[in-house]
Structure 1
């Protein structure tokens, strides 16, 4: 499969982030086209394209927009979720850094479609260079008449605000993000009501991922047929895959949905020299991990579901045979225990006890009963927590035990077999040889 570059095609150009460069490549032409259409026609076009949310669950973007009431008196809001914090995920940050105007144009079109007067881009506060670049791009858009009042003499008004979050994984969850944006502690809300009915300031709100919004202008500019000619029937279009870990050339690779990891690794130079693939995540640490036997499974929503995993954020973390799977899952578990907001008991208590059992496993203090306890706690987390953080914490535990139970059992007798200290204790006569 050939790599197609749509969102990333201008990343390597000098000053790719400037308005001048963006206009040179048909920038804001899609907005001009959208403003000649009615909001309903824009929504119908996005629905017809089959664009699915690029942030995790893959919910159809056009359908999400259509949930917003078209005839109510309440203000409508668009919120772009740029709080990219899933371990291993790195696609939204480089997109905003290299071509911020692609996101801004998409946000203006989305706001027009849902009849929003105000839009927000919620960015992680730690990525200061991205914040500055976005703020500069927004100022350029205001000056050029793409934001503000009577945009391009269309009668449409929009103000776009770049908001810096304080740095919490839980704020990647859309309702926790809305609470944070309102000035409260970021914690998930009970649903229903859903954001489309009562979101930001209790008004109808659409929350979309960065890549989802940035994908809209090319669809309007090039047409639905062009977009659906890439990818698969149920997962059309291109997307950005992040490859990290034990791979020769890590980075972002834009490709049609449905490409396989084997094909992506060929472009990335394969697993690092002298080593072989052991396990990998298709969509960050919160998705069930897979093994070398899944190299040829299509990287789309249906393909990943067929093998018991999820496409998620398309953060492909590659691990070779030198990696201890127990230690890797322990690190992820520690992350989730630290990032749990504590609102619900299954997540607050479950992630804590998972991290304690993993410490015993790595130190050789665990028993067979602890393997049962891991699965029992993971089951309590999975689908029973207030938000998807519990599911994300449970996924690597359940999937790693399913694929590598023998390696877990090795930890019961002498700690981590991949730890050099364990090797020295097992063969003390070789120390100093």
Structure 2
């Protein structure tokens, strides 16, 4: 989600970062640049000790003369809205992401056949990761999101004490990627925190797992979809992905029962009254699984097998791994959840969310792109409309709000 920069927010961010406001103020840019340039000059020795040549260093920092204020803002900004669990999944697992995933499965089938054969990772998992990380590469086309990785990481190393050690390590890795010749400095782009390419690898992970799948001599996760998907598959395989095994099962829980907090076999779970939500039997009853109820006992429940925890090596968050698994299953044609998330409103389809945004825009409440994703800008617009319409200002993208908008 993009957050519009404001002068007030930049000022508070810079103060929180421990920098004088004068460093980034328009009145004294030369002073700000000088401080950053001294840091860049000083870091040269550290890079050299790690094997980065002088020529590579000079090439990487050519034109990088000042820290990126938007990177500082994003590093320090704490969203006021804490997303409930349904919000996370609604913005990632929906009919549009499934539809595009199926189209990509057809488009890239020959390469997915080869990647699946080489690494043993299910293609639908890879497609889901691609969707989650870069919206099937669409984010790479957005100049407002993609940034110079060297500038972003040097900004964090210079201005963000919490991330300085991480940023220095990633910056050295990024410089070595340039030195290897896999990508040139003009195409070494990524997120504000340095995540790169279709599958959003940080530089050290790129070094560990990047693959030249298309055989052109470059491990190019920015421009080569085969390289990017194979790199993701390589990460999962090297972290213990089990070929032919699922990531987990949606299950139905018997009322009034307490369950083990750790992993026990699927056969044991079945003996405790836990059944698959689909009504089908568990496969591989000797496999161990752990119960997860991200929305409480009244929401969807899952038994997570080993592959779920391998997915967390990509992003160490339960919600992320669940979203990848659910999206992969739907791309593969296995259907939606039997038990939906607990929402205090009537859910909109993806196209209805776009309609909601379009109607809010027509009434002057929303100035973003009608992309069907409900972020901070959409919620603020919904709240503003709800206040004007005399509704409860909860910011939810509900059918109740859309019906009122349709009457205007």
TM-score, normalised to structure 2, is: 0.25
Which has more strand, going by share of residues? 1
TM-score, normalised via structure 1 length: 0.24
